[in-house]
Amino acid sequence: MGRSLTGRRCILTGASSGIGRAIAGELARAGVRLVLTARSTDKLATLEQELQTQTEVLSIPADVTSSADRERLIADAVARFGGLDLLVHVAGIASFGHFATSTEAINRQILETNFFAPIELTRLAMPHLTQGNDPRICYLTSMCGRRGMPAWPEYSASKFALVGMAEAFRAEFVRFGVGVTTIVPGLTQTDLNQHMLRNEGKMNIPFGQGMTPEYVAQRTVAAIQQGRREVVLGSEAKKMLLMNRFFPRLLNRLIARRVRQLYAVP
């Protein structure tokens, strides 16, 4: 049985689509007062209108990689609700393709969005969270944040960094009474593959067979309610990370063999 989230004040990034949109719905049904942010003004406005029948909602279009936008987001949220209890980070981007054919610009953009943006938003939010009601931060990461995968090098690095920072925060923030939850999902039915910075990998990834955003959202909100530290979602993610823990050399060989097969010269 988890704690009640009714009346809690939350900033949710990446709220306009996919997992973020689904989490917004789950939080609204739990009675959370929401500040929704993403870059898409139209989608945010539509979502705000849909959720207003369930809870108090404020949508703030913003680019989380912009320091000015982050400052405005925090200021407007606190001005509207008088404080902050939850910070849920979902916004992220990816690139599918091998590092040798990638660029410095792609590397930097992914790190800016997936790592620096949520970390610096956390820095701005902390003075308000420490004064909040049972405050908690939740980071949506990836199984690539626990096991780096070929053709996802920049994405893996950004999620590894976020997972590592979350672990450090968890120990640091305990003296302030701020909890930290890390969600580590596997394959999910999102539109991530339609918005990647590049899509050049050879492996067929069946996104349509993954978990639904609604399932990930339900488990994420449950983890927040229960005060969980880290939750791995998806059978393939659990199997992969279990194998990585107990049989890392075998997993390395299997992945290497698959890469050689995909890139073998006919």
User: What pLDDT is recorded for position 87?
Assistant: 98
User: What pLDDT is recorded for position 1?
Assistant: 54
Q: Which residue reads 């996802």 in tokens?
A: 152
Domain boundaries, the chain: 9-236
Contacts with 153 (C-beta within 8 Å, 6 or more apart), sequence order: 98, 99, 102
Residue 190 corresponds to which tokens in the numbers above?
Answer: 């999102």
Confidence of residue 129 (pLDDT cuts 50, 70, 90): very high
Rounded CA-CA distance 178/176 in Å is 5
Q: Spot the catalytic one: 139, 155, 215, 263.
A: 155
Return mean pLDDT, the chain: 94
Confidence of residue 195 (pLDDT cuts 50, 70, 90): confident
CA distances from 17 to 21, 48, 97, 239 (A): 5, 12, 24, 28
Residue-wise pLDDT for 1-20, tens only, equals 578 999 999 999 999 999 99
User: What pLDDT is recorded for position 203?
Assistant: 80
Confidence of residue 101 (pLDDT cuts 50, 70, 90): very high
Residue-wise pLDDT for 210-231, tens only, equals 899 999 999 999 999 999 999 9
Decide yes or no: CATH 3.40.50.1010 for domain 9-236.
no
Rounded CA-CA distance 187/173 in Å is 30
- 266 versus 206: the higher-pLDDT residue is 206
Answer positive or negative: Cα dihedral of 259, 262, 263, 266: positive
In the annotation, is 155 catalytic? yes
At residue 136's C-alpha, the angle toward residues 134 and 141, to 5°, is 165
Residue-wise pLDDT for 137-183, tens only, equals 999 999 999 999 999 999 999 999 999 999 999 999 999 999 999 99
User: What pLDDT is recorded for position 6?
Assistant: 96
Predicted TM-score of the model (pTM)? 0.94
Looking at the chain, the whole-number percentage of residues with pLDDT higher than 70 is 98
